[in-house]
A = this chain, B = another copy of it.
Amino acid sequence: MSTIAFIGLGNMGGPMAANLVKAGHRVVGVDVTQAAIDRHVAAGGVKGASIAEAVAEADVVVTMLPSGREVNALYLAESGIVPKVKPGALLIDSSTIDVDTARAVAKAAAAKGLAMLDAPVSGGTGGATAGTLTFMCGGEDATFARAKPYLDAMGKTIVHAGGPGNGQAAKICNNMILGITMIATSEAFVLAEKLGLDAQKLFDIASKSSGQSWSLTTYCPVPGPVPTSPANRDYQPGFTAAMMLKDLKLAQDAARSAGAVTPMGAEAASLYGLYAAQGEAGTDFSGIVNFLRGR
């Protein structure tokens, strides 16, 4: 069993750290919020005095942070993870951040002889608690192999997408498809409604035809056809519009940086921005169907 420093014990990081505790590891947690620390200790974790002290004694460091800015700061600051971590420790960043920062931090870690994996997740707080997350990983083969037993303790599907940054790339590419396809599906339901075509009829036809998608058949944005979808519980998340907007912005950052043209991705980012701005940032992202329908 290992000593793991876990930085960022929020809605996702908290239950992920708890699953590492359950797997028998000594998990030294750090967070800016006292309540998060208290929950971590109650779950059997240890309170870290600081990032520098927590990582100095850790075999593995796992981070779950809000954005690339925090990842960059906490890894590269003078008393941050890369300067202070024990030689030979394994670094796993499960934050969802921009590809460029993920690659820059991995490069800085490699320059100090440290193996680092970017391993953003999907599956939400439910998956974090149940230990059924999907991890999309970027890093060297040997790094992935070292990290896998720890990821197995927190997730169900662990995928290696290639070298450093490719975990982030895989996540934003997938979620860009998702964001666009959810709007496409929602537009079709609104159009059908205004044309007098029953939602269940459209579902029955499109779900067995070329309009089929995960957005339609697993996460249907109108109530009825898929009883488990958030549409049936007044669009309680699930996956919020704010989270989708974040991922779509990351996809646009990546597209600009890499020189890719993604007009639909840009339009989806605009539409989720408008939807979130109506006070709906905390609503499930499939609620955009109500925004498209209007009042």
Contacts and interface: CB of A to CB of B under 8 A. Distances in A.
B262 A174 contact: no
A165 B209 contact: no
A6 interface: no
Interface string A88-106: 0000000000010000000
Contact of A195 (B178, B191, B202, B254): B254
A132 interface: no
A195 B169 contact: yes
A140 to B, nearest CB: 14
Interface residues of A, number: 69
A194 interface: yes
Contact of A209 (B166, B185, B214): B214
B267 A267 contact: yes
Contacts of A292: 261-262
Contact of A215 (B166, B202, B210): B210
Contacts of A208: 157
B262 A170 contact: no
A154 interface: no
A249 B178 CA distance: 24
A177 interface: yes
A136 interface: yes
Interface string A207-250: 01111111110110000000000000000000000000000000
A180 B181 contact: yes
Contacts of A205: 136, 159, 161, 170, 174
Contact of A187 (B136, B176, B185, B196): B176
Given A174-B206, A178-B210, A181-B213, A169 B187 contact: no
Given A211-B175, A214-B211, A162 B197 contact: yes
A208 B214 CA distance: 9
Interface of A: 99, 122, 134, 136, 157, 159, 161-163, 165-166, 169-170, 172-178, 180-181, 183-185, 187-198, 201-202, 204-206, 208-216, 218-219, 251, 254-255, 258-265, 267-268, 271, 292, 294
Nearest to A185: B177
Contacts of A178: 210-211
Given A173-B192, A174-B211, 5 more contacts: A170-B192, A170-B202, A176-B188, A177-B181, A210-B219
Contacts of A159: 204-205
A187 to B, nearest CB: 4
B169 A210 contact: no
A264 B190 CA distance: 12
Closest 8 CB pairs of A and B: A213-B213, A180-B184, A177-B211, A194-B258, A174-B211, A169-B195, A187-B262, A173-B188
